[in-house]
Amino acid sequence: MSNVHRRHLLKMGGVGALSLAMPRLSFAQPTKTLRAVMHAPLRVTDPVVSTAWTARNHGYNIYDTLFSVNSKFEVKPQMVDTYEVSSDKLVYTFHLRSGLKFHDGAPVTSADVIPSLQRWAKRDSMGQKLMEFVAELKAVDDRTFRITLKQPCGFLLQALGKPNSNVPFIMPARIAATPAEQAVTEQIGSGPFRFVASEFQPGTKAVYERNADYVSRDEPSDGMSGGRVVKIGRFEWISMPDMGTAINAITNDEIDYVEVPPHDLIPSLQTADGVVLFDYNELGYVGTCRLNWLAPPFDKPEIRQAVLQALNQKDWLDVQIGNPAYFKETPAMFVAGTPYESNSGWSTKANTKLAKELLKKGGYANEPIVILQPTDIPLLTPVTNVTAQALRALGMNVQLLAMDWGSVLARRAKMEPPTQGGWSIFHSAWAGTDMMNPLGNAYVNGKGKNGGTFGWADDAPIEKLRDDFAKSESLPEQTAIADTIQKRAYEVVTYIPTGQYKQPAAHRTSLKGLLKAPVPLFWNVDKA
């Protein structure tokens, strides 16, 4: 009974006397609703088809994972209860926890796990590499499955516990049977929240409710691992394209959480009553400039090199972040501050003279350079202007194509030339954990159209080096291989890092229990 009810009843003559005079009543507690403005509206809901953070964030609400990483990035069992590894390190046997159920009431079984992993592995860079080592995926019984390898590899558990896009979420077998290039149409998982499909307004609002049937691990939450206890009744993902509006809303206690407050508005939040900043992802984020290898002129390595040499990383960071306290210039493709950090391959400074020479050497013939410019993500909108200005200064025929982020995600999947609905360049950002090793970093994947991601870099030497990295279990050897991969990636320009930065979230002080993790998580969170 609440204190308000208790005080009211005492004024009426005491709880004891009242209870004798009246039948016992049951008072339903009001549903606690957390309202959040995330970095972009939710449109694409399949976290396998898309690497977008929106799809990933949606996925963590409704799906569960076999393994997860704690605050020290140690891989821990999640849906898995126990597992064994054979002495030759070729056979891994996993046992699922009891009581796991999908939102439609069906039990989670090994028959769901196998197609979920197979579908994920067709799209994910680390999953693709893992399957090159896998001889067999087999359901032994309802709660036991086995992975048999062709040869030992040191990253199987890291792949199953991969925290960022694409995440190996587990879906019902009938949904996981959907082709990997086709989006699923049912939003059913076994995770801590249920998706309220009847209230979904793509691009405007998404709603989740607590899954009362979710079986949490009986452990404290730690990073992304441990218990996933939902303490709120309802989570509303609200779209506010104008971040100034979102900042006013959180300041006025109309919403509870803003995922990516613009850095130039952070000072106002630091002095706002009832609002605190929360740096949940301490490894930070990495901006990227991705070129399309399939379409002229970026099918020529000299032209890609010209773009690399035309740009200053700090110019991107200045317009994107502004405050040097929140950003770092670094050429590290595998993230500064990690074991695989390297300064090889690029100075992060422009060399305009060399860029012009490379443009001439590559035979640039005034082909149109179509740059996709998202209009509803403040972190990405201005960096496209920097790129356009630098390439125009070289004499390139640049066309900025403004569109919402959902349209960018759709267009970047097109392999046609820019003049036929394709693209030349797009910018994005990744969590540091996405990029921190050569297997998970999708933009050093050299498989081209045969398994590579948007941009389709095609380079056999990089793939050979990634194989060597996957086979190695020695950190010094892995570090040396990662350095060589970075050098090669800059030689052929698989992508250009636009800098590393911190992005604190903002939330009302009424929220307690937010977790530090590579992803914004809403289990363990309570609202006063």
Q: What is the pLDDT of residues 346-364, one digit of tens each?
A: 999 999 999 999 999 999 9
The predicted model gives 302-327 an average pLDDT of: 97
pTM: 0.85
The predicted model gives 488-500 an average pLDDT of: 98
In whole angstroms, give the CA distance from residue 177 to residue 95.
Answer: 22
DSSP-H helix ranges across 337-380: 352-361
Alpha-carbon separation of residue 42 from 39, 184, 431, 505 (angstroms)? 9, 15, 18, 18
Q: Give percent of the chain above pLDDT 70.
A: 94
| Position 6 pLDDT exceeds 80 | no
C-beta of residue 193 within 8 angstroms of C-beta of residue 61: yes
Is residue 365 classed as helix, strand or coil in its secondary structure?
coil
Q: Which two tokens stand for residue 304?
A: 């890609």
| Position 20 pLDDT exceeds 80 | no
Res 22: pLDDT:
32
Res 31: pLDDT:
81
Sequence-ordered list of residues with C-beta below 8 angstroms from that of 260, at least 6 positions apart, any chain: 38, 39, 243, 378, 379, 503, 505
DSSP state of 22: S
The predicted model gives 87-98 an average pLDDT of: 97
| Position 8 pLDDT exceeds 60 | no
Q: Which two tokens stand for residue 513?
A: 């229990």
pLDDT band, residue 473 (cuts 50/70/90): confident
pLDDT band, residue 406 (cuts 50/70/90): confident
Sequence-ordered list of residues with C-beta below 8 angstroms from that of 433, at least 6 positions apart, any chain: 69, 73, 163, 164, 281, 283, 440, 518
C-beta of residue 32 within 8 angstroms of C-beta of residue 236: no
Length of the chain: 528
| Interstrand relation of 169-170 and 193-195 (parallel, antiparallel or unpaired) | unpaired
Chain segment 292-305, per-residue pLDDT in tens: 999 999 999 999 99
Res 87: pLDDT:
96
Sequence-ordered list of residues with C-beta below 8 angstroms from that of 225, at least 6 positions apart, any chain: 68, 69, 70, 74, 76, 78, 219
Sequence-ordered list of residues with C-beta below 8 angstroms from that of 56, at least 6 positions apart, any chain: 47, 164, 165, 166, 167, 519
C-beta of residue 330 within 8 angstroms of C-beta of residue 336: yes
pLDDT band, residue 10 (cuts 50/70/90): very low
Res 376: pLDDT:
87
Q: How crowded is residue 369: how many other Cβ atoms within 10 Å of its Cβ?
A: 26
Chain segment 408-462, per-residue pLDDT in tens: 999 999 999 999 999 999 999 999 998 999 999 999 999 999 889 999 999 999 9
C-beta of residue 46 within 8 angstroms of C-beta of residue 184: yes
**Please, how many CA atoms are within 13 Å of residue 16, restricted to the half-sphere of its CB?**
0
What torsion, rounded to 10 degrees, do the Cα atoms 253, 255, 259, 264 define? -50
Torsions phi, psi of 319, nearest 5? -85, -25
| Position 15 pLDDT exceeds 50 | no
Kindly give the interhelix angle for 475-492 and 301-310, rounded to the nearest 10 degrees: 100
DSSP, residue by residue, 40-58: S------TTT---HHHHHH
| Position 370 pLDDT exceeds 90 | yes
Q: Give percent of the chain above pLDDT 90.
A: 88
Torsions phi, psi of 427, nearest 5? -105, 150
In the chain, the domains with their CATH numbers are 42-189 (3.90.76.10), 205-282+503-527 (3.40.190.10), 285-501 (3.10.105.10)
Res 12: pLDDT:
31
Binning the chain into helix, strand and coil, the percentages to the nearest 5 are 30, 20, 45
Sequence-ordered list of residues with C-beta below 8 angstroms from that of 480, at least 6 positions apart, any chain: none
Is residue 144 classed as helix, strand or coil in its secondary structure?
strand
In whole angstroms, give the CA distance from residue 225 to residue 79.
Answer: 10
Res 26: pLDDT:
34
Chain segment 98-136, per-residue pLDDT in tens: 999 999 999 999 999 999 999 999 999 999 999 999 999
Res 30: pLDDT:
54
